[in-house]
Chains A and B, each alone.
Chain A
Amino acid sequence: MAPPADARLRLETVRLTALFGRRAVLKDVTIIFPAHTVTAVIGPSGCGKSTFLRCLNRMHELSEGGWVTGRVLLDGADIYDSHVDPVQLRRRIGMVFQRPTPFPTMSIYDNVAAGLRVNGHRGRRELDEVVERALRQAALWDEVKDRLRASALALSGGQQQRLCIARALAPQPEVLLLDEPTASLDPAGTQRIEELCHELKRLYTIVIVTHNMQQAARVSDYTAFFYLGDLIEVGRTEELFTRPTKEQTEAYITGRFG
């Protein structure tokens, strides 16, 4: 299931294997993410999909005993190369987590600016601009523009999650990783995030891990199905959901397990 030839590759993995100590939780995954697409990663719990996502911005190696073999190429360069600084890398590959994780002691403004501040941006005007742009991109600006100094905790769960998206977008990453971003949100909040995925793919390359197959079908261009650490199948979303080529995929998407 190759992507259209004109689509530029942004991110790809080559025989990526992720391990905890000696236990491989992800085996030999080779997959490509074309620029400006949304790829959904689905699979039952424990299939390695979150670990996979965490390999893409080198968060996996921070877990106890976590390491990888194989390669992850961002614009053709291996992010596991010895001269790559993982801290710099994570500014190019933003991540949003399952539960909203605003910094509770910071204002809305400071939350969005946090990623820039650690980056060394301190100019007042520059920060203002970036914060507004990030909040607009995260479709939160209109709701918070009058109370940027208020605590981030004053926001609803859905708003908090969009705030986290804005925080991830502020340093202008190239890739956005979303790890079950709607798992703790109500349907309205979920819908906003899904709409956001459509908007954001014009600017970013998005990988979204989700438990919810309807969500994968709604938001993604490509879908990858993981099972027990293996990449079973990847393809255009409508094809994967209508004409899966592997039996396990079909069993999962028709709800026979997982």
Chain B
Amino acid sequence: MTTLPVDPATTPDAVSAPAPTPTPQAEWRTLRGRNVGDRLYRVTLTALALVLPLLLVTLLAELVIGAWPAIQRFGLPFVWTSVWDPVAGVFGAAPMIFGTLASSLLALLIAVPLALGVAIYLTEFSPKWLRQPIAFLVELLAAIPSVVYGLWGIFVLIPFLRSYVVPPLRAALGWTPFFSGVFYGNSLLAGGIILAIMIVPYIAAVSREVLLAVPANQREAAIGMGATRWEAVWTAVVPYGRAGLIGAIILGLGRALGETMAVTMVIGNRHDISLSVLQPAYTMAAAIANEFSEAVGDLHLAAMFEVGLVLFVITVIVNAFARLLIWRVARGTAVGSRAL
């Protein structure tokens, strides 16, 4: 006790009823906590860190409160009924949910091979001087404003689809339900393609990082046992990074689900479920953007809130599922899993 300064105010107490002697750990803790600046800093940062989860909770609460009249009125059937009649006050969001999922899946179908191809080419096959320029240009795609994609979709993509893509597609596959009906331009197909182009840079950039993080000795091991470069990629590099690659794909999917502007401009915004990708469709994000400002009546507004809530929940589910997938696949090894 001689080495530590003793506060005179507390000494009498300590004498009359000996307080439990502080453990060495506790003493060290007080010593460490001496610096007021550090303590203040830590408190501030803790508060800032807590703001984010709080924001999320608030957001969810607001959505539920806003959507409450619609939830009470329509209950769960809201998500699987298809009538959307603001005048009659009947709302069912199934077509939007379908459109959101269908356009996003279509986008993944197109974007994943493309983005993985770019990433594999850039890390494994391209000459060194070409890597940075291509990577830069691909990532630049992410910087283009959504509305510009929408314009491009209307003035370039849709005419192109109408003249060169859809006729042969219908000739070959018109008998399937997926390519039936008349093609007017604005369609699930156009929306899916626009989305694909928009999410390629994300998937490609993350995949590239993941593949770069695969240790060189994995490639060498494969090549050393007589694999070609291509076989080395598919037996060693891609499996090693698969958790990270799945993460990259889910990141793209997350963006596709929520993308609004460009999709609204080309998908046709028709509240209808059609299996044919040539037909117009609707997405939740597009519906909110289109109708929110001109919602007629409280119930319509509440229905829009509920659409937002459903979108929110779907993205949460997708992300949770992605985590689960990554966690199951990674089992401690695969690279890139920790970053996601």
Q: Which residues of A contact B (CB under 8 A)?
A: 57, 59, 62, 64, 87-91, 94-95, 97, 99, 101, 103-106, 114-115, 117-119, 151, 153, 164, 167-168, 171
User: In the complex, A105→B337 CA distance in Å?
Assistant: 14
Contact of B221 among A62, A64, A97, A171 (CB under 8 A): A97
Q: Shortest beta-carbon distance, B237 to chain A, in Å? A: 10
Say whether B333 contacts A167, CB under 8 Å. Answer: no
Contact of A118 among B235, B242, B332, B334 (CB under 8 A): B235
- A119: chain B residues at CB < 8 Å are 226
Contact A59/B225 with A104-B333, A104-B334, A117-B235 known, Cβ cut-off 8 Å: no
When A and B form their complex, which 9 residue pairs have the shortest distance between CB atoms, in order from nearest? Answer: A91-B226, A101-B221, A115-B225, A95-B224, A105-B239, A90-B226, A104-B333, A118-B227, A118-B231
Say whether A103 contacts B225, CB under 8 Å. Answer: no
B240 contacts the other chain (Cβ, under 8 Å)?
Answer: yes
Say whether B217 contacts A99, CB under 8 Å. Answer: yes
Say whether A103 contacts B240, CB under 8 Å. Answer: yes
Say whether A115 contacts B226, CB under 8 Å. Answer: yes
* Chain B residue nearest in CB terms to A106: B239
User: In the complex, A57→B218 CA distance in Å?
Assistant: 17
Contact A88/B239 with A97-B220, A97-B221, A164-B221 known, Cβ cut-off 8 Å: no
B228 contacts the other chain (Cβ, under 8 Å)?
Answer: yes
- A171: chain B residues at CB < 8 Å are 225-226
Q: Shortest beta-carbon distance, B231 to chain A, in Å? A: 5
- B221: chain A residues at CB < 8 Å are 97, 101, 103, 164, 167
User: In the complex, A211→B238 CA distance in Å?
Assistant: 33
Say whether A101 contacts B226, CB under 8 Å. Answer: no
B128 contacts the other chain (Cβ, under 8 Å)?
Answer: yes
B223 contacts the other chain (Cβ, under 8 Å)?
Answer: yes
- Besides A94-B225, A153-B333, A168-B224, 9 new A-B residue pairs in contact (Cβ under 8 A), listed by A number: A62-B220, A64-B128, A87-B226, A87-B228, A90-B223, A95-B225, A103-B221, A114-B225, A167-B225
Contact A104/B240 with A59-B220, A99-B217, A118-B235 known, Cβ cut-off 8 Å: yes
0/1 string, B274-285, CB within 8 A of A gives 1: 000000000000
Q: Is the interface of A mostly helix, strand, loop or mixed?
A: mixed
- A87: chain B residues at CB < 8 Å are 226-228
User: In the complex, A105→B237 CA distance in Å?
Assistant: 10
Say whether A103 contacts B224, CB under 8 Å. Answer: no
* Chain B residue nearest in CB terms to A164: B221
- B231: chain A residues at CB < 8 Å are 118
Give the total number of A-B pairs whose CB atoms are below 8 A apart.
75
27 A-B residue pairs with Cβ-Cβ distance under 8 Å, sorted by A, are: A57-B224, A89-B226, A90-B226, A95-B225, A97-B220, A97-B221, A101-B215, A101-B217, A101-B218, A101-B221, A103-B221, A103-B235, A103-B236, A104-B240, A104-B333, A105-B239, A105-B242, A106-B239, A114-B235, A117-B235, A118-B235, A153-B332, A164-B221, A167-B221, A168-B224, A168-B225, A171-B225
* Chain B residue nearest in CB terms to A117: B235
- B223: chain A residues at CB < 8 Å are 59, 62, 90
0/1 string, B243-261, CB within 8 A of A gives 1: 0000000000000000000
- B240: chain A residues at CB < 8 Å are 103-105
Q: Would you list which residues of chain B between 88 and 117 have a CB under 8 Å from chain A?
A: none
User: In the complex, A91→B223 CA distance in Å?
Assistant: 9
Q: Shortest beta-carbon distance, B135 to chain A, in Å? A: 18
Q: Which residues of B contact A (CB under 8 A)?
A: 128, 215, 217-218, 220-228, 231, 235-236, 239-240, 242, 331-334
Say whether A118 contacts B217, CB under 8 Å. Answer: no
User: In the complex, A101→B334 CA distance in Å?
Assistant: 14
- A99: chain B residues at CB < 8 Å are 217
* Chain B residue nearest in CB terms to A119: B226
- A106: chain B residues at CB < 8 Å are 239
- B215: chain A residues at CB < 8 Å are 101
- A104: chain B residues at CB < 8 Å are 239-240, 333-334
- A167: chain B residues at CB < 8 Å are 221, 225
Contact A59/B224 with A101-B217, A104-B333 known, Cβ cut-off 8 Å: yes
Q: Shortest beta-carbon distance, B77 to chain A, in Å? A: 44
Residue with the highest number of chain A CB atoms closer than 10 Å, among B226, B227, B235, B236: B226
Residue with the highest number of chain A CB atoms closer than 10 Å, among B220, B222, B225, B236: B225
Q: Shortest beta-carbon distance, A238 to chain B, in Å? A: 31
Say whether B226 contacts A105, CB under 8 Å. Answer: no
User: In the complex, A106→B331 CA distance in Å?
Assistant: 12
User: In the complex, A151→B242 CA distance in Å?
Assistant: 16
Q: Shortest beta-carbon distance, A211 to chain B, in Å? A: 18
- B242: chain A residues at CB < 8 Å are 105
User: In the complex, A64→B129 CA distance in Å?
Assistant: 12
Q: Shortest beta-carbon distance, A201 to chain B, in Å? A: 20
Say whether A97 contacts B333, CB under 8 Å. Answer: no
- B226: chain A residues at CB < 8 Å are 87-91, 115, 118-119, 171
* Chain A residue nearest in CB terms to B228: A87
- A88: chain B residues at CB < 8 Å are 226
Residue with the highest number of chain B CB atoms closer than 10 Å, among A94, A99, A118: A118
- A164: chain B residues at CB < 8 Å are 221
Contact of A90 among B225, B236, B239, B334 (CB under 8 A): B225
User: In the complex, A106→B239 CA distance in Å?
Assistant: 9
- B220: chain A residues at CB < 8 Å are 59, 62, 97, 101
Q: Shortest beta-carbon distance, A178 to chain B, in Å? A: 11
Contact of A97 among B217, B239, B332 (CB under 8 A): B217
